[in-house]
Chains A and B, each alone.
Chain A
Amino acid sequence: MTASDQTAELNPALAARRLTPTFNVFGLVRRGIVYLLLSVAAFVSVFPFLWMIVSSTNTAADVLKGKSTFGDALWNNIVTFFTQVDAPRIFWNSAFLAIVGTILTLVISSLAGYGFEMFRSRLRERIFNFLLLMLSIPFAALMIPLFIMMANLKLINTYAAILLPAVASIFIIFYFRQATKAFPAELRDAARIDGLKEWQIFLFVYLPVMRSTYAAAIIIVFMANWNNYLWPLIVLQTNEQKTITLVIQSLSSAYYPEWGVIMVGTILATLPTLIIFFLLQRRFVEGMLGAVK
């Protein structure tokens, strides 16, 4: 036995170090592979975004030829896009639906989630479990009766038809109930002892504490509303009401799509969600953590 082996045996820190794989060649190779795979994944994930930006500066023919360098058709594409469609109008339509929809959904569904967790009763548990079962009902099964219903209520081509079925979201109720489990009950009890009414507790104690949860919910709901396609496709049939998602889809299904112009629209359709995501990113991860616990 050599002297160094003996030291290793005597010194637990050194022994532990020998076991750590990062210090041998095998570990280095493994880390290399991990970095390589992650880099490939990151490149694949980001490439379509770059493609979108590059293509918006090219002509339709160049996009189809796979030209992946910047061209000089950007201004032309922008002008064509703004003359072909009423861009400010459709952008506003999308924004209105997404913002109003997000606010209403958060108010109604977070109250419900809070209520289910804070005021438990056997009946409420039953209702909640029933709602969880309903979570797995696909939209396709609701689409037809909802459409007939909206037609009977004369709500086709109104924003109410989009908002009404969406604002009570089982997923968001479930999400808020899960997150509320982490809300300290002592805080609520203390507030009650201080004489706060229930609505005050919700507004002034619960809301500020659950900031991260709300941020994550805002991202989820805003994106879902902004990106909604199938239901608006069915109930919004006039051009003045169409959302940006509907418009770029119909542009792209033309027989000879003007790809460069469509890319301008696609960028406009992607920017808001991208900005919201980057603004709220840190809170988003925190909020998800709270809900999965």
Chain B
Amino acid sequence: MPALVLLGLFMIYPILWSLWMSFQTGRGMNFSFGGFANIVRLSQDPIFQRALGNTFTFLVIQVPIMLVLALLFAVALNDSRLWGRGFFRTAIFLPCVTSLVAYSILFKSMFANDGVINDALLTIGLISEPIPWLGDPFWAKVVIISAITWRWTGYNMIFYLAAMQNIDRSIYEAARIDGVPAWARFWYITVPLLKPVILFTSVISTIGTLQLFDEVNTITLGGPSDSTLTLSLYIYNLTFKFMPSFGYASTVSYVIVVLVGILSFLQFMVARDRRR
């Protein structure tokens, strides 16, 4: 099958190569075997630790917010008596059709110092002076997190909606006649039945966030003072911005591989545990 040949050539071969490379040191195309030198360098590299910390902050805060929102919207839109379902569904999904770069540009302009967001917040009196969105380490993170949430909530919602259509309506009818309140129906019927989909979305969101690049490269370039630098952006900088250091960059990229592995495994364990 041609698919397998291509995958072998452009996926499996490179991944092994990059494992081998992560033990190499040197600049440009001159490699020499460095053993664990790169791992030692990793443990002493403050910028790497910064990038790792930032990536984790994005992961821990953004993914849960987004998935909970997506689930709530899906529940609301799954109600067949709701007026304007099609409109709401399309509107909330709409951000997914924009390219990561295009929406990042929009957010960058909206969050300018005198920009439309500050204007709106000042007008309704929520803040008394403009927030330096992109100039402050904390607020820059907030901008990145809101941007990703805006882009991906509708995407996850579609997965939940699709899965909810497969749940037999008579279960809800039975529960309602037995007097089970709405929140309990959600918690004890919807959530357990959606568990495989929730697991799927949380795994792909985790992978996506660990690879965060386009948004930070467009909105903040990792700044201010590396407060939004992510692992992927750091790898890119190591490889293509500074004097290329392919070996060390490969080591950093393997940190992402290992993290994805561990986190996916943990999520599978949590999902299995709660099934008992």
Q: A interface vs B, CB < 8 Å?
A: 16, 19-22, 30, 34, 37-38, 41-42, 44-46, 48-49, 51-52, 55, 63-68, 108-109, 111-112, 115, 127, 131, 134, 136-149, 164-165, 167-168, 170, 173, 223, 226-227, 229-230, 234, 245, 248-249, 252-253, 257, 259, 262-263, 266, 269-270, 273-274, 277, 281, 285, 288-289, 291-293
Contact = CB atoms under 8 A, between A and B. Distances in A.
Given A42-B87, A131-B7, A262-B105, A245 B81 contact: no
B76 A37 contact: yes
28 contacts: A19-B177, A34-B79, A34-B82, A41-B91, A42-B87, A66-B115, A68-B119, A112-B4, A136-B207, A136-B261, A139-B211, A141-B250, A141-B253, A143-B239, A149-B14, A165-B11, A223-B99, A229-B213, A229-B214, A230-B213, A230-B214, A249-B101, A249-B105, A252-B108, A270-B97, A270-B98, A281-B90, A288-B158
A37 B75 CA distance: 12
B162 A285 contact: yes
Contact of B3 (A49, A168, A245): A168
A52 to B, nearest CB: 6
A138 B18 CA distance: 12
Interface string B158-190: 110111011000000000110100100000000
Contacts of A277: 97
Nearest to B83: A35
Nearest to A41: B92
A274 B163 contact: no
A138 B2 contact: no
Nearest to B256: A138
Given A66-B117, A145-B17, 18 more contacts: A41-B88, A46-B91, A48-B106, A65-B119, A66-B110, A66-B115, A108-B6, A134-B11, A136-B260, A145-B21, A165-B6, A170-B11, A223-B97, A223-B99, A245-B102, A249-B105, A252-B108, A292-B166
Contacts of B106: 48, 51-52, 266
B118 interface: yes
A42 B86 CA distance: 11
A168 B162 contact: no
A64 to B, nearest CB: 5
Interface in B234-276: 235-236, 239-240, 246, 249-250, 253-254, 256-257, 260-261, 264
A61 to B, nearest CB: 10
Interface in B1-36: 1-4, 6-7, 9-15, 17-18, 21, 29
A140 B258 CA distance: 12
A21 B182 contact: yes
Contacts of B13: 145, 149
Nearest to A33: B76
Interface residues of B, number: 94
B76 A141 contact: no
A292 B98 CA distance: 24
B99 A269 contact: yes
Question: A-B pairs with the 3 shortest C-beta distances?
Answer: A227-B99, A66-B116, A112-B3
B74 to A, nearest CB: 11
B197 A292 contact: yes
Contacts of B97: 223, 270, 273-274, 277
Interface in B76-128: 76-77, 79, 81-82, 87-88, 90-92, 94-103, 105-110, 112-120
A207 to B, nearest CB: 17
A111 B82 CA distance: 40
B11 A64 contact: no
A46 B176 CA distance: 35
A288 B159 contact: yes
A136 B118 contact: no
B221 interface: yes
A271 B42 CA distance: 43
B231 to A, nearest CB: 7
B150 A269 contact: no
Given A41-B73, A112-B4, A145-B21, A259 B213 contact: no
Contact of A144 (B10, B11, B21): B21
B205 interface: no
B30 to A, nearest CB: 13
Given A45-B94, A138-B257, A140-B232, A227 B100 contact: yes
Contact of B76 (A38, A46, A252): A38
Given A108-B2, A138-B211, A253-B218, A293 B166 contact: yes
Contacts of B9: 164
A289 B88 CA distance: 18
B99 A64 contact: no
A229 B100 contact: yes
B14 A173 contact: no
B10 A165 contact: yes
